[in-house]
Amino acid sequence: METLNESGYAPSEEVFRRLADNAAEVLYSMTFAGSVRMKFINSKAEELTGYAVEQILDDNPNWMDIVHNADRQRLMEHFNQCKNNAKPCELEYRLVAKNGAVREVLDRTQPIFNTRGEVMGIDGLILDVTERNRAQRELDRTQMILNIGKLSAGIAHEINTPIQFIGDNMRFLSDSFEHVIELLGVYKQIAESTAENDLSGECKNAAVEKIRAAEEQADLDFLTEEIPRAIEQSLDGIKRVLTIVSAMRDFSHIDERRMAPADLNKALKSTIVLLRNEIKYVADLNIELDENLPMVYCCVDDMNQVFLNILINAVHSITEAARDKGLITVKSRQIGKDVLFSISDTGTGIRPRIQNKIFDPFFTTRQAGKGTGQGLSLARSIVVEKHAGSLDFETQIGVGTTFTVRLPIEQNGQKRNG
């Protein structure tokens, strides 16, 4: 039997406790017996939550009480997944510290087994990723602003064209209205004259001739045909401008990057609207979207960024091919519990020697100053790391490339609301 030292620990236990408390992360051991309870947690937990280790171990508060209310169900499902699958898992969620501060953490769990091979609890390591996530959000914000800035000239052109013909039509309608007012004046004058006097046949003929002359002066037949057309064109132009503005609004709510059910077909269409000026001179568009595609639980702003980066990549590839006008094909469909989006181009294809590098941060084949190399890297990070999906590609030199985004319809058991 080992002799306890003055601190009450056997030497091996004291060393273990010291190592655990010196760790930069929160280390814990949790049991599933009866209810979820902490059996061990190191002193870093107090630094993270503001609650003493003894309080947490005494369930005062229970660990689940410290977890943000909106994330508790997800965390319980995460624990159940770890228990049922008997495999390591990881999950990001939020904690509410004693002082009310919200901290974002990454919890990596490892199942522990009893002698019968059953999962009896988990050992875990918790990283405080609040600052990392904040920095990532700032990077995403910067990248999005840069992309919108790059697209601004094209968007301005797309808005300017309908605004120009709306302006032309308004000037035409203004001039036409003056002629119509003059004509109405003639009608009114003759109507009053007719009401006051019993016109003879000769006077009636003169009145009719005056009306005809006024109608000819106003070019009534032309106005009757062109005014409705001008109004229709103007309304169509306003609709086009509203579509672009709506697409810009849908593309990014920079300060509202949250997970929620989203119509990704609509998101993809909005992104295409913003890129219209970039695409139309380079490629034709073939759009085949499954109109029955379900709502997908995701951060729609992030997915807009993914679609934008892949489409821009397609445009650049076709431009580099230096052939006739290319083709970009966009498709969506549901496969089981996932949705699939594919974006194909008839560009240069990706050379074999760089295929394993295209998702690396800052890797780019473009000339200096022409690209940051963050596009596909950011897209992969969003799809794979944030949404538990996949981003793959198929390519053939001289033929083109297809990027495929696959996303789960639900995230971590979160049910769709629409």
Which one of 23-32, 141-150, 360-369, 401-410 scores highest in mean pLDDT? Answer: 401-410
Do 287 and 169 fall within a single domain?
no
pLDDT in tens, 275-297: 888 888 899 999 999 999 999 99
- The 8-class DSSP code of residue 3 comes to P
1 lies in some domain: no
- Residue ranges making up the domain that contains 124: 11-128
Q: Could you tell me which residue, 131 or 245, shows the higher pLDDT? A: 131
Phi/psi of residue 286, nearest 5 degrees: -120, 110
The answer to whether 391 and 384 are in contact (CB under 8 A) is yes
147 lies in some domain: yes
Residue 411 has pLDDT above 50, yes or no: yes
Do 287 and 243 fall within a single domain?
no
pLDDT for the residue 342: 96
pTM: 0.53
Do 234 and 262 fall within a single domain?
no
| 56: helix, strand or coil | helix
4 lies in some domain: no
Q: What's 396's domain CATH number?
A: 3.30.565.10
Q: Final residue of a domain: which of 255, 290, 308?
A: 255
294 lies in some domain: yes
| Share of residues in the chain with pLDDT > 90 (%) | 26
Do 271 and 192 fall within a single domain?
no
Residue 3 has pLDDT above 60, yes or no: no
Candidates 219, 203, 211, 206; CA nearest to 186 is: 211
Q: Final residue of a domain: which of 128, 162, 184?
A: 128
Distance set, CA 1 to CA 4, 164, 234, 270 (Å): 9, 92, 93, 72
Find tokens 């004509």 and name the residue. Answer: 183
38 lies in some domain: yes
Provide the pLDDT confidence category of residue 209 given band limits of 50, 70 and 90.
Answer: confident
pLDDT for the residue 200: 57
Q: Final residue of a domain: which of 203, 235, 255?
A: 255
Helix or strand (DSSP H, E) at 411: none
What's the CA gap between 374 and 309, in Å, rounded? 9
Domain count, the chain: 3
The answer to whether 23 and 44 are in contact (CB under 8 A) is yes
pLDDT for the residue 373: 40
Do 271 and 400 fall within a single domain?
yes
Do 190 and 277 fall within a single domain?
no
pLDDT for the residue 369: 37
Do 223 and 172 fall within a single domain?
yes
How far the first Cα of the chain sits from its last, in Å, is 63
Do 248 and 263 fall within a single domain?
no
What tokens appear for 378 in the block? 């950011």
pLDDT in tens, 340-354: 999 999 999 988 888
Provide the pLDDT confidence category of residue 372 given band limits of 50, 70 and 90.
Answer: very low
Task: Please confirm whether the linkage preceding 61 is cis (ω < 30° from 0).
Answer: yes
CB atoms within 10 A of CB 373: 16
Q: What's 35's domain CATH number?
A: 3.30.450.20
417 lies in some domain: no
414 lies in some domain: no
Exposed/middle/buried for residue 362 (C-beta within 10 Å: 0-12, 13-18, 19+):
exposed
Do 272 and 399 fall within a single domain?
yes
pLDDT in tens, 329-343: 999 999 999 999 999
What tokens appear for 369 in the block? 């100053």
Report the 3 state secondary structure along 165-211.
HHHHHHHHHHHHHHHHHHHHHHHHHHHHHHHHCCCCHHHHHHHHHHH
| 298: helix, strand or coil | strand
pLDDT for the residue 12: 64
Residue 58 has pLDDT above 70, yes or no: yes
Residue 240 has pLDDT above 90, yes or no: no
pLDDT for the residue 207: 67
What's the CA gap between 94 and 403, in Å, rounded? 33
Do 274 and 248 fall within a single domain?
no
Q: Could you tell me which residue, 358 or 403, shows the higher pLDDT? A: 403
Average pLDDT over residues 127-134: 88
Radius of gyration of the chain (CA): 34
Do 91 and 170 fall within a single domain?
no
Provide the pLDDT confidence category of residue 148 given band limits of 50, 70 and 90.
Answer: low
- Angle, CA 235 vertex, CA 233 and CA 236 arms, to 5°: 60
pLDDT in tens, 302-312: 898 899 889 98
Q: What is the largest CA-CA distance in the chain?
A: 136
pLDDT in tens, 246-269: 777 666 554 455 788 999 999 899
pLDDT in tens, 80-125: 888 888 888 888 889 999 999 999 999 999 998 888 888 888 999 9
Pairing of strands 37-41, 26-31: antiparallel
What's the CA gap between 123 and 183, in Å, rounded? 89
Residue 314 has pLDDT above 60, yes or no: yes
The answer to whether 167 and 287 are in contact (CB under 8 A) is no
According to DSSP, the residues that pair with 111 across neighbouring strands are 122
Helix or strand (DSSP H, E) at 402: strand 400-408
Average pLDDT over residues 46-70: 91
Do 143 and 123 fall within a single domain?
no
pLDDT for the residue 147: 67
Q: What is the mean pLDDT of the chain?
A: 81
418 lies in some domain: no
